[in-house]
Amino acid sequence: MCRSCGCGKRARTKNSGDGHSHRNGEHSHHFRREIVEIRSSALADNDKRAAQNRRWLEARKIVALNFISSPGAGKTTLLESTLDRLRGRIRCAVIAGDVQTDRDARRLSGRGAPVRQIETLGACHLDAERVGQILPAVAKKGVRLLFIENVGNLVCPVAYDLGEDMKIAILSVVEGEDKPLKYPALFSAASVAVITKIDLIHAAGWNRTQCLKNIRKVQPRMRIFEVSARTGQGMDEWIRFLAELAGQASATT
Ligand SMILES: Nc1nc2c(ncn2[C@@H]2O[C@H](COP(=O)(O)OP(=O)(O)OP(=O)(O)O)[C@@H](O)[C@H]2O)c(=O)[nH]1
Ligand SMILES: [Zn+2]
Ligand SMILES: [Zn+2]
């Protein structure tokens, strides 16, 4: 549940936490408008801060990727394997977002890249301000790729631009091939989808054709990778893509 994006506590507090009964239509209409205004202004502030982050990253030729998925889709595992493979080749940095604990940051540490955790303490998404505050500490000189692992949530993180170059939608084969249709906001905002845990295809009864079709229905230009961080299948192609991204960024003047 989120305290600030309007999907949780804050919206409810504004709407009904003041002891009023909302019998009268005009009254509830007033509250609804207030909620919408709070949300719009929070998002507008976030967009401004995200634009600052984007300029900061661009000036340093750092490509930032915002990883978004449901909880447990395999973001951290994919990043562990990615960092191990890029170590010594491309300088990377990581911001790991979690509602609570620094477990992901600890898993990602010691792999050759600076890592910082943002513990959102209830909020179900990262926001541009928190990310901007720790950018200088994590995206140090020479860093080419910044991986941002968002809080596990298929809805709210999509609304909060962090200043990234692209959103990466992560979907594991055990979640079902219908998810792109059920969560179109993420799949239309992302330019890359990584399908994870492909070692579990048979156990999950995953329908590959249907899943790819559903992704393309929402985002026809989606670049799709199919990987298993567990077995290493598909990882070479993913790593080649990241190396190209880093190369393109440093080649631009
Ligand atoms: N079989 C298999 N399991 C995987 C793979 N990748 C991740 N897992 C397992 O899936 C579970 C969740 O993985 P995480 O990497 O923690 O997922 P996450 O998306 O970072 O989770 P949150 O940060 O909590 O949202 C763990 O038990 C992993 O071992 C994979 O490629 N194959
Ligand atoms: Zn939320
Ligand atoms: Zn994680």
SS3 track for the chain: CCCCCCCCHHHHHHHHCCCCCCCCHHHHHHHHHHHHHHHHHHHHHHHHHHHHHHHHHHHCCCEEEEEECCCCCCHHHHHHHHHHHHCCCCCEEEEEEECCCCHHHHHHCCCCCCEEEEECCCCCCCCHHHHHHHHHHHCCCCCCEEEEECCCCCCHHHHCCCCCCEEEEEEEHHHCCCHHHHCHHHHHHCCEEEEECHHHHHHHCCCHHHHHHHHHHHCCCCEEEECCCCCCCCHHHHHHHHHHHHHHHHHCC
Q: Alpha-carbon distance 96 to 149, whole Å? A: 5
**Is 19 inside any structural domain?**
no
**Is 173 inside any structural domain?**
yes
**Among the listed residues 250, 184, 196, the one whose alpha carbon sits nearest the alpha carbon of residue 222:** 184
Question: What is the residue range of 109's domain?
Answer: 43-251
Ligand 1 pocket check for 81: Cβ under 6 Å: no
**Is 22 inside any structural domain?**
no
**Is 34 inside any structural domain?**
no
| Residue whose CA lies nearest to ligand 1 atom number 29 | 77
**CATH classification at residue 86:** 3.40.50.300
Q: For each of the chain's 253 residues, which pLDDT tens digit applies?
A: 455 566 544 433 333 344 344 455 556 667 677 777 777 888 999 999 999 999 999 999 999 999 999 999 999 999 999 999 999 999 999 999 999 999 999 999 999 999 999 999 999 999 999 999 999 999 999 999 999 999 999 999 999 999 999 999 999 999 999 999 999 999 999 999 999 999 999 999 999 999 999 999 999 999 999 999 999 999 999 999 999 999 976 665 4
**Is 95 inside any structural domain?**
yes
Q: What is the CA(23)–ligand 1 centre distance, in A?
A: 47
**Is 28 inside any structural domain?**
no
**Is 167 inside any structural domain?**
yes
Q: What is the CA(246)–ligand 2 centre distance, in A?
A: 31
How many domains is the chain built from? Answer: 1
Ligand 1 pocket check for 102: Cβ under 6 Å: no
Question: How far does Cα 140 stand from its chain's mean position?
Answer: 21
**Is 133 inside any structural domain?**
yes
